[in-house]
Amino acid sequence: MKRRAAILLAASALAPAAAQTPATPRPNIVLIIADDWGFSDPGRYGSEIATPNIDALARQGTSFANFHVAASCSPTRAMLLTGVNAHKAGLGNMPETIPPAHRGQPGYNAMLAPGVTTLAQRLKRAGYATLYAGKWHLGHDAADLPTARGWDRALALSQSGADNMENKPNRLLYERADWTRDGKTARLPRRFYSSTLIVDEAIAQIDSVQGKPFFATLGFLANHIPLQASEADIARYQGRYAAGWTALRARRAAGVARAGLLPAITPVVMDSTRDWQALDAAERARWARAMAVYAGMATAMDREVGRLVAHLKASGQYDNTLFVFVSDNGAEATNPEANRFTTFNARLQYDLASERQGQPGSFTYIGASWASAAASPLRGFKFSAWEGGVRVPFILSLPPGLRQARGQVATAPAHAVDLAPTLLDLAGIAGRQGLEGRSLVPALIDPAAAVHDAAEPIGYELSGNAVLYQGPYKLVKNLPPYGDGAWHLFDIMADPGEARDLAAADPARLAAMQAAWADWARANQVLPMPPGYSAPQQIQDNATRDLLPGRLAPMLASLWLLAVSLWVGRRWRRR
């Protein structure tokens, strides 16, 4: 009842500004999806990384302290762009991490399910021009690309990532970079920078729209591996990370508290965090350089966001544009040099020299220790169901004509599926059929307002890592290597760092939430993971299966030709 009253109050507060009249047209919408940014990576969220343009959106809007997504790319994008959970949307697992036995099962399409309505389709029916630029990762066949799912125009990358400076793939996973323009193979410049390319495309698309509002989605590749940035952007952070990841994790936790996003807490020291002091000088220099590349890449993306904002101001469109900024999951912890095989493959495909990190032809990554710092003060990172994997920065900034508690922090739990109903509300579009999420409008008016009822169970599962949210409580299970496979219980409002497990102290709540999760899993046809499954190993197995035949074929052909030549040579000599 209280939640209903809050929604009615918020709706009445917005109504005068949002009424659809010629004087108050529907707002333009810009959705900015960052890739693999940790919770405390933007400056507004307590970071040392310079993100002045994203921070400016936060000052003019609302920053959410408790916004949850999936722990990897595709499932999050599916939820953001459909308003339903990832299993229902067809992305119960990411294509790169799905075990072969699951592929094609209900909810495991590895692409958007055919019957799911996208946010673009809903907005297009209401008269919006729908535009897409950047990473898609929700299907690669013509019927699964953006222009087949409601977007009018699209420059889209169907894969998880690619080179940021050349039209080349991430060669550890793919044979070619699958960029398309309006459903057909795209021709890209010989040299470019991904963030600049995406904003160039978005500006061109926006400028082509006449007489209607636009919905522009920008899927940045920053900061997905391989990490790359200009030397000028990297140099900005020279020496900044010399004290190491544990020191950064402590500084970030203090920054988050100063920003008013979370209470001051001592961040958990994770088992995956190495002892910085035990590294030799060369290793410390190498890892410090990698984090400087990461920071430089984020700053470069922010600069491109600023260029887009400046263009909208110059064209007179800024004052009727709302902006959303969100990361698709926590920071990436994958280490391509984790074992002999992956190390051999990485060195075969890329230049891994320390001094070359971030440059063309290099493959730079930050690994688990820096990834945990990027999520500070939370536990975990990408792929894990700990808060550091699923709680991300989320900023919503409305045009001046729509009322909002600007510069404030919304503290109530919110989720990726809430974005679609929120944007439909703000655009004055009726019809919520099929949507699971709740509108965030109450939290934009009153940052302390609840979005979901305290008793409402909200389920989640990805690669065997599972969560049930209910009010302030979180039931969570992580398979190895991210956890012990057992259920744990936390009050994430009081304990966002997941340091105090309540499972033993509150067995009744534990059992009730386990039963609620089981009900949700059955309703969404969640499949158990094969014995011994781990997401990092499955990525390697799937990549080996997909790439090895094509890469072995030329080698085998060469060996065959050599064998034939030797045989012919012997026959000739015998004559």
CB atoms within 10 A of CB 90: 25
CB contact burial 148-170 (16+ within 10 A = b; e otherwise): ebbbbbbbbbbbbbbbbbbbbbb
Contact criterion met (CB below 8 Å) for 510 and 503 = yes
Tokens of 185: 């193979």
Longest dimension (CA), the chain: 99
Q: Rounded to whole angstroms, what are the CA distances from 250 to 54, 376, 377, 452, 547?
A: 23, 8, 8, 32, 41
Q: Tokens for 303?
A: 């600069």
Q: How far apart are CA 159 and CA 138, in angstroms?
A: 8
Q: Which of 68, 73, 87, 452 is catalytic?
A: 73
Strand partners, 362: 351
**Nearest residue to 226 via CA among 170, 168, 310, 296:** 170
Residue tagged active-site, from 137, 224, 452, 488: 137
- 8 A C-beta contact, residue 160 and residue 463: no
Q: Which residues pair with 457 in a beta bridge?
A: 470
Q: How far apart are CA 225 and CA 209, in angstroms?
A: 33
Partners of residue 376 on adjacent β-strands: none
User: How far is Cα 32 from Cα 29, in angstroms, rounded to an integer?
Assistant: 10
Active site residue 137: yes
Q: Is 73 a known active-site residue?
A: yes
Residues with active-site annotation: 73, 137
